[in-house]
């Protein structure tokens, strides 16, 4: 097992066969030729975690399938090669593109077509239900079958060997205390938030020295509906909702500017970057209000 761990520590790229590895190998085909495959959710989550750890992924398949293409896109697979009857060709192309050597590659297969790649890869893995010839050419055989957690098992093996697993688990085991905040915005600010993948608010303009997130949806709704949607040029207002780390917000006082619902934080514009860095998750659009153009009939 020590040899397996040493090999796993060097891995930077996981390459997988599809049928029989990411699926159980069965293909459901309709009368008109459309086919369906079943993928394991835990395998998919494992691949997502592998990406979070900075590793790369690829699928090399001997078949072509719109289902596989959709699944690869959903998971963010970096390389997808289909109709690969001789798998060494796409294998070498991927390594050249990634500028990697064989020892940085883990390959997972289940059938004899995978043997040439298993013999090249730094860490060669066969799934539990692989044919015997494949197992004979593997450094490691999973306890799980293809499509039923084999890839997840491989991911955990690699990440634990590289000392990355515990850090990834903090995302799930250490729940941060957050505060839900709201902000009414117009379409221009929404466009800038969208450009930032709904992770950050845009910098303030010179005439905007303060950023004002508010503490309740009712207050944000009143501004978006009764001001933005009526008086902005675009005649539209949005309410955004987002979570901010509670520890960070303790440095700011809650300001009440009118009635009891009119509570907000005053964040200096030059501290907005730090504020954005303490947003947990995405900025969500939770309401949209549109007013009537007073010039239209």
Domains 2-171 and 178-290 share a fold: no
What pLDDT does 233 receive?
83
Kindly compute the dihedral angle of the four CA atoms of residues 107, 108, 110, 111, in this order, to the nearest 10 degrees: -10
Per-residue pLDDT tens over the stretch 30-51: 788 788 899 999 999 999 999 9
- Are the C-beta atoms of residues 221 and 215 closer than 8 Å to each other? no
Separation CA 63–CA 3 (nearest Å): 33
CA separation, residue 197 to residues 192, 201, 233, 279, 284 (Å): 9, 10, 25, 13, 11
Class of domain 178-290: alpha beta
Q: Which fold has domain 2-171?
A: Rossmann fold (3.40.50)
What pLDDT does 234 receive?
82
Between residues 233 and 61, the one the model is more confident about = 61
Separation CA 90–CA 189 (nearest Å): 44
Q: Where do the structural domains in the chain lie, given as residue ranges?
A: 2-171, 178-290
Could you tell me which of 86, 151, 95 has the C-alpha nearest to residue 116? 86
What pLDDT does 295 receive?
37
In the chain, where does DSSP find H-type helix? 2-9, 41-52, 66-75, 88-98, 115-120, 132-136, 150-161, 165-173, 187-195, 217-223, 229-231, 246-249, 272-277
Per-residue pLDDT tens over the stretch 120-164: 999 999 999 999 999 999 999 999 999 999 999 999 999 999 999
What pLDDT does 235 receive?
87
Beta-bridged to residue 242, according to DSSP, are 181
Mean pLDDT, rounded, for 166-176: 81
pTM of the model: 0.62
What pLDDT does 293 receive?
47
What pLDDT does 297 receive?
32
**Burial group, residue 266, by CB count within 10 angstroms (0-12, 13-18, 19+):** middle
Mean pLDDT, rounded, for 80-107: 96
Mean pLDDT value across the chain: 93
Q: What percent of the chain has pLDDT over 70?
A: 97
Separation CA 247–CA 244 (nearest Å): 9
Between residues 213 and 85, the one the model is more confident about = 213
Per-residue pLDDT tens over the stretch 173-204: 866 789 999 999 999 999 999 999 999 999 99
Q: 12 is written with which tokens?
A: 């930077």
What pLDDT does 204 receive?
93
Q: What percent of the chain has pLDDT over 90?
A: 82
What pLDDT does 175 receive?
65
């Amino acid at each position: 097992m020590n040899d397996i761990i040493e090999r796993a520590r060097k891995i930077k790229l996981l390459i997988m066969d599809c049928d029989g590895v990411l699926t159980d190998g069965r293909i459901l085909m309709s009368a008109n030729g459309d086919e369906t495959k079943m993928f394991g959710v835990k395998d998919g989550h494992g691949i997502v975690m592998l990406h979070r750890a900075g590793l790369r992924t690829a699928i090399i398949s001997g078949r072509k399938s719109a289902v596989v293409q959709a699944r690869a896109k959903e998971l963010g697979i970096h390389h997808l090669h289909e109709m690969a009857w001789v798998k060494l060709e796409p294998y070498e192309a991927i390594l050249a593109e990634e500028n990697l050597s064989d020892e940085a590659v883990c390959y997972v297969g289940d059938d004899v077509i995978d043997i040439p790649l298993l013999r090249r890869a730094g860490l060669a893995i066969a799934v539990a239900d692989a044919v015997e010839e494949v197992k004979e050419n593997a450094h490691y055989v999973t306890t799980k079958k293809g499509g039923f957690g084999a890839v997840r098992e491989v991911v955990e093996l690699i990440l634990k060997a590289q000392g990355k697993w515990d850090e990834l688990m903090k995302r799930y085991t250490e729940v941060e205390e957050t505060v839900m905040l709201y902000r009414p915005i117009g379409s221009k600010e929404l466009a800038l938030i969208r450009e930032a993948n709904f992770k950050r608010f845009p910098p303030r303009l010179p005439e905007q020295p303060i950023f004002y997130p508010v503490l309740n949806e009712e207050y944000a709704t009143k501004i978006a509906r009764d001001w933005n949607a009526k008086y902005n040029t675009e005649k539209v207002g949005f309410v955004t909702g987002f979570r901010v780390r509670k520890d960070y917000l303790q440095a700011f006082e809650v300001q009440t500017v009118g009635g009891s619902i009119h509570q907000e934080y005053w964040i200096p514009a030059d501290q907005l970057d730090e504020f954005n860095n303490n947003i947990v998750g995405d900025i969500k659009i939770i309401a949209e209000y549109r007013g009537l153009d007073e010039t239209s009939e």
